[in-house]
Amino acid sequence: MDEINYDDFRTAGKIASKIRKESENLVMPGGSLLDVAETIEGMIAEEGYKPAFPVNISINNIAAHYTPEAGSDAVFGDDDIVKVDFGVNVNDGLSDTAYTIDLSEKHGKLLDASRKALDAALKFIKPGVKVGEVGGVVEEIIKADGFKPISNLTGHMLRPGILHAGIDVPNVKTEDPYEFQEGDIFAIEPFATDGKGYVNDTDQVEIFSLYMPGQVRMRESRRILTHILNEYGLLPFAERWLHKECKSKLLLKNALKEMLRTQMLKAYPVLKEAEGGLVSQFEHTIIITANGVEVTTK
Ligand code: MN
Ligand code: MN
């Protein structure tokens, strides 16, 4: 295992926190999703860094993994529940944070449920606590408010350059035995819904990550693969980011298809609540300390 540079993770958190506050004002009825995503990615670039992953803007019953397509003209509706999820990459020190905005102003309780669950989880976590027990805390709080936690979405460990580093933090009680250790870095992200309590894949995929670089046959695929390796490493990227690298949309589609077929790429399908329920999410990145947590994205 490589040494962890905690200051890079702290810087990534601090920048994300600043942008998080500034970006909340960008989400308004009639506003363009693509504008918001590109503005946040631009704010990260202005700080001199790259996004840790594409800005996710998931609305209403979409729980996660949507980022606007290149040229998208989608706009926020008057009653949208908008989840903005993004992170910063500082020399492989990563942050991951998310917030929900209720444009309808009718679903405050749904937002409170996931916000309170996140606060409680952050207070509960310390060395020796099991990840499955955190799921119990999240589940209890969300259910006490009359909602359901999304059982197949989880928080996750982070490592330098790796967003999902193998250990998950469930949002429901499980027997998962991993115990938090001082120095671990995790993203905690409770999701609450008035629907079924789990998500399904949709057919749409806008976000990918390199899984195992290997041989590709098509010349365009080789070129794009090299670009992905150099620019994003193993971190997630958006199809939209590759548009300016490619002569045509079709060539890009075919190259991505080839890399998916040969299992070089992992796809992150857009995730939709099973019953079409509304979904709220709040997320922070933390470093486990001797007796609690340090929130890097506070
Ligand atoms: Mn996130
Ligand atoms: Mn996350």
Residue 85 annotated in active site: yes
Residue 96 annotated in active site: yes
Task: Identify the burial level of 203 via C-beta atoms within 10 angstroms of its C-beta, where 0-12 means exposed, 13-18 middle and 19 or more buried.
Answer: exposed
Q: Per residue in 43-62, pLDDT tens? A: 999 999 999 999 999 999 99
Give 75's DSSP letter.
B
Q: For the chain, what is the largest distance between any 2 Cα atoms, rounded to a whole number of angstroms?
A: 56
Marked catalytic residue, from 65, 107, 164, 284: 164
CA of 52 to the centre of ligand 2 (A): 10
pLDDT of residue 2: 59
Both tokens of 232, joined, read: 């994003």
* Threshold 0.75, pTM exceeds: yes
Q: What is the DSSP string of 272-284?
A: EETT---EEE-BE
Residue 156 annotated in active site: yes
Marked catalytic residue, from 8, 41, 80, 96: 96
Ligand with smallest separation from the Cα of 187: 2
Which CATH superfamily is 6-201+272-295 part of? Answer: Creatinase/methionine aminopeptidase superfamily (3.90.230.10)
Same fold: 6-201+272-295 with 202-270: no
Other CB atoms within 10 A of residue 182 CB: 12
Closest CA to 51 of 21, 94, 14: 94
Closest CA to 289 of 199, 214, 216, 186: 186
Q: Per residue in 164-196, pLDDT tens? A: 999 999 999 999 999 999 999 999 999 999 999
Marked catalytic residue, from 156, 184, 220, 284: 156
pLDDT of residue 221: 85
Ligand with smallest separation from the Cα of 55: 1
Ligand with smallest separation from the Cα of 98: 1
Domain ranges of the chain: 6-201+272-295, 202-270
Cβ 285 vs Cβ 98: under 8 Å: no
Give 290's DSSP letter.
S
- The whole-angstrom separation of Cα 9 and Cα 26 is 26
The edge-to-edge listing of strands for the beta sheet with 62-64 is: 62-64, 265-273, 199-210, 237-238
Marked catalytic residue, from 85, 133, 168, 239: 85
pLDDT of residue 1: 52
Ligand with smallest separation from the Cα of 85: 1
Closest CA to 208 of 184, 189, 231, 186: 231
* CATH topology (fold) of 202-270: Arc Repressor Mutant, subunit A (1.10.10)
Residue 79 annotated in active site: no
CA of 137 to the centre of ligand 1 (A): 20
Which residues of the chain register pLDDT less than 70? Answer: 1-2
- The whole-angstrom separation of Cα 44 and Cα 103 is 25
Cβ 227 vs Cβ 216: under 8 Å: no
